[in-house]
Chains A and B, each alone.
Chain A
Amino acid sequence: MTTRGTGPGDRLDPEEAGPGRGSKMLGGRAVLVSSASTVLFFAIIAIIVALAPGSGIVAERFFDPFHLKQSFLGTPSTPSVAGAFLLNVEIFAISEVLILILALVIAVVRQIPGPVFFPFRMVAIAYTDLFRGIPLILVLYMIGFGVPGLGLAGLSYLSDVTYGIIALVLVYSAYVAEVYRAGIESVHESQNAAARSLGLTRWQSMRFVILPQAVRRVVPPLLNDFIGLQKDTALVSVLGSIEAARAAQIYSASEFNYASYVVAALLFVLITIPLARFTDRLIARDKRRRQAGALA
């Protein structure tokens, strides 16, 4: 078991192929070849774009520095895209916390055995099937316009943003619950057997032994879902909230210039990239740790 790490198959791992061989190649001809191919690749794309018949107009409509700046900051008659983006961040931050909690509850409920809990399991399964199946935009319409229509005292007179958050939480919790479930099922049954054999109850075993291991394993896919959530906050605008995408649309409609969309897009990218890099680092750390564990 301890010698598994030195099998010939493991040599295929690019990181283990040895820095010696890789750096020698890059040090010489490889650097030249890779730089030349990169330059050529982007040059060809630039030429194709520049030669397009409408390139002048696109540059003016999308990348005009004056409009980029003005839409970013806002005008007396149009909202600032940057300011509106703060609403996206707020929606994201609140939804994320609620999703983590609701999804965990659904995933755990789905794991409770025994005939008594059949209806609970059924509800959890029906929930994930339903909300993974309906497009987010339809859920937004149904919650945002349907719940106010009911005229219920506590539920029907909330803000558009609140209905947007509810819809996002309902849809994303279904996805995240499945991620949690995969994590729970990836913890070997022998861990549960060990916990139960010590006299821990089913719930204690879940809480202290299974879940901590499961959650650790699913952090990378969870973050991946949250990158998706960050972008989908833009859809809340269909209920009337002025977030970044809607602010950009207002600007473009009043100034006849699309630079505001570019600004909004850049803001989304700007906040997504750190999360993506953070995910990569977590995956790399996890991989390192498992390799260290295998060698120990």
Chain B
Amino acid sequence: MNSPGSPALILEGVHKSFGQNEVLKGIDLTVAPHEVVCLIGASGSGKSTLLKCVNLIEPIDAGRIVVEGEEITAPGVDVNRVRRRIGIVFQAFNLFPHMTVLQNITLAPRQALKMDPQGSRKRALGLLGRFGLLDKKDEYPDRLSGGQQQRAAIVRALAMRPGVMLLDEVTSALDPELVAEVLSVIRELADDGMTMLIATHEMGFARDIANRVCFLDAGRILEQGPPERIFTSPENPRTRRFLQRIIAAGRL
């Protein structure tokens, strides 16, 4: 259904308001297959809302979103089927606390994809092994460190074999010493060619991993380009000011 080379994700004129507050004021963005796009910008600039709209957690007010050739914002689209192709990982992990790590991961493949228990278990164990969590498979989430929980949440999303991954500030709730283990998992995904849209405050990481960086300000993409250019010679004065503040805070 998706010819090679056609975009993995297209956003056209996406608008989103919460009551009087217009959070997204017309977002246009195209992500190619295997591309890693980082969204940067101050808190409240609309990064998280944008990701939630792509996953249809938040309905959009205007515009359209196309994932792998299918317009997912068209009326009558089965949202459950669409979400199975788009993985999202949240800032607060949102693991299911009453299930073991393994149960967390196999739940959706079994219930949403109707995989048989052995198949889903095998897939989950393979992913857990790959990301160094095999010995934690029978633990409950509250027995894991923040970094382990976030890695488990990434594995949970990957177990659905999504075409696109959305990462929403996945390291913001972590103690500093735990950030690296999660970032290395994301880097591994990028190396495997996973298409990703990443909202992040980790500028160093964005510079490292992104093919393209988009600077969001007040619900608009003000500037975008390869990280080398955005981080060294931003054109827009607001981008410049934002990056100066980041540098002053010692985060780049």
Chain A residues proximal to chain B, CB less than 8 Å: 1-2, 190-191, 193-201, 204, 208-209, 212-213, 216, 292-293, 296
Contacts and interface: CB of A to CB of B under 8 A. Distances in A.
Contacts of A196: 57, 80, 83
Nearest to A188: B94
A293 B141 CA distance: 9
B67 interface: no
Given A198-B84, A292-B142, A190 B94 contact: yes
A288 to B, nearest CB: 13
A208 B97 CA distance: 12
Nearest to B57: A193
30 contacts: A2-B175, A190-B92, A191-B94, A191-B96, A193-B94, A194-B90, A195-B96, A196-B57, A196-B83, A197-B55, A197-B87, A198-B108, A198-B112, A198-B157, A198-B160, A199-B80, A199-B84, A199-B160, A200-B80, A200-B107, A200-B111, A201-B80, A204-B111, A208-B107, A209-B96, A212-B98, A213-B96, A213-B97, A213-B98, A292-B142
Contacts of A296: 142-144
Contacts of A204: 111-112
Contact of B83 (A1, A199, A213, A292): A199
Interface centre among B84, B144, B173 (most CB of A within 10 A): B84
A199 B112 contact: yes
Interface centre among B98, B143, B157 (most CB of A within 10 A): B98
B25 to A, nearest CB: 24
A196 B160 CA distance: 13
The 8 closest A-B pairs by CB, nearest first: A199-B84, A194-B94, A198-B108, A293-B142, A199-B112, A199-B83, A197-B88, A190-B94
B88 to A, nearest CB: 5
Contacts, number: 65
Interface in B104-144: 107-108, 111-113, 142-144
A156 to B, nearest CB: 44
B81 interface: yes
**Majority secondary structure, A binding face:** helix
A79 B104 CA distance: 57
Contacts of B90: 190, 193-194
Given A194-B90, A209-B96, A200 B112 contact: yes
B34 interface: no
Interface size class of B (residues with CB under 8 A): 20 to 34
B156 interface: yes
Contacts of B107: 198, 200, 208-209
Contacts of B144: 296
A212 B107 CA distance: 14
Contacts of A1: 173
Contacts of A190: 90, 92, 94
A226 to B, nearest CB: 23
A197 B84 CA distance: 8
A262 to B, nearest CB: 45
Interface centre among A199, A204, A293 (most CB of B within 10 A): A199
A198 B156 CA distance: 8
Nearest to B79: A196
B85 to A, nearest CB: 8
Interface string B198-215: 000000000000000000
A216 B98 contact: yes
A193 B96 CA distance: 11
A198 B83 contact: yes
Nearest to B85: A199
Contact of A199 (B97, B98, B108, B173): B108
A296 B145 CA distance: 7
Interface string B47-61: 000000001010000
Contacts of A200: 80, 107-108, 111-112
Nearest to B110: A208
Given A197-B55, A200-B80, 17 more contacts: A191-B94, A191-B96, A194-B94, A197-B86, A198-B83, A198-B84, A198-B107, A198-B112, A199-B83, A199-B160, A200-B112, A204-B111, A204-B112, A209-B96, A209-B107, A213-B97, A213-B98
